[in-house]
A and B are shown apart, each in its own frame.
Chain A
Amino acid sequence: EAQVTQNPRYLITVTGKKLTVTCSQNMNHEYMSWYRQDPGLGLRQIYYSMNVEVTDKGDVPEGYKVSRKEKRNFPLILESPSPNQTSLYFCASSPTIRENTEAFFGQGTRLTVV
């Protein structure tokens, strides 16, 4: 089954403790991205990757890092989480950057930083 898988689904952590949210897709998609969703602010893009070893900032990249060492994986790294990064996070992928194609989203990771 074609899917985007995020882990963990829920995470509570303390300020400053490094964490990684994993994202994996099994569709051989080139394009992957991370969004966060906050009440009243909608979904905002954090980082995106057009292919292996190619990443770029989205609209709200501060406090986040990403890497794309393999095509299927696109982890989101919070080196020193802060309470303002408490949010619902979604990973998305799509087949290619040159065609109008649908995006596939993961089920989300609800992160709480205390």
Chain B
Amino acid sequence: DAKTTQPTSMDCAEGRAANLPCNHSTISGNEYVYWYRQIHSQGPQYIIHGLKNNETNEMASLIITEDRKSSTLILPHATLRDTAVYYCIVRVKGRGGSARQLTFGSGTQLTVLP
């Protein structure tokens, strides 16, 4: 699976959009981009995933660049409860449900400030 690079930490004001970047320059055509988050010592929580088109769900939006070498997770109106470590993970398409093996890097600690 491709390696990802994320900033170690970011701050965001409550109510503002949080934009979390992820670089995955070695991504191949059959790899998905997944985002999970982990609120302090709780189990990781799935947020969203995509292949090449932008995706949106009730939690967030995922913007993937045209060359697929980077992506941005957008939390449109961050709240204090969004403070967590956010993990960007690249996994091969078709390798199954992502519980198969998720390689969690260090992630980005997002702190939402009041």
Tell me the count of chain B residues lying within 8 A, CB to CB, of chain A: 23
* Other A-B pairs, 19, CB within 8 Å; known A58-B101, A99-B94: A31-B97, A33-B100, A33-B101, A42-B104, A43-B44, A45-B102, A48-B100, A90-B43, A92-B99, A94-B99, A94-B100, A95-B97, A100-B96, A103-B44, A103-B97, A103-B99, A103-B102, A105-B43, A106-B43
The residue of chain B having its C-beta at the shortest distance from the C-beta of A32 within the complex is B99
A contact residues vs B (CB 8 Å cutoff) = 4, 29-33, 42-43, 45, 48, 58, 88, 90, 92-108, 110
The residue of chain B having its C-beta at the shortest distance from the C-beta of A107 within the complex is B43
Is B68 at the interface (CB under 8 A from chain A)? no
Do A102 and B49 contact each other (CB < 8 Å), given the known contacts A33-B101, A107-B42? yes
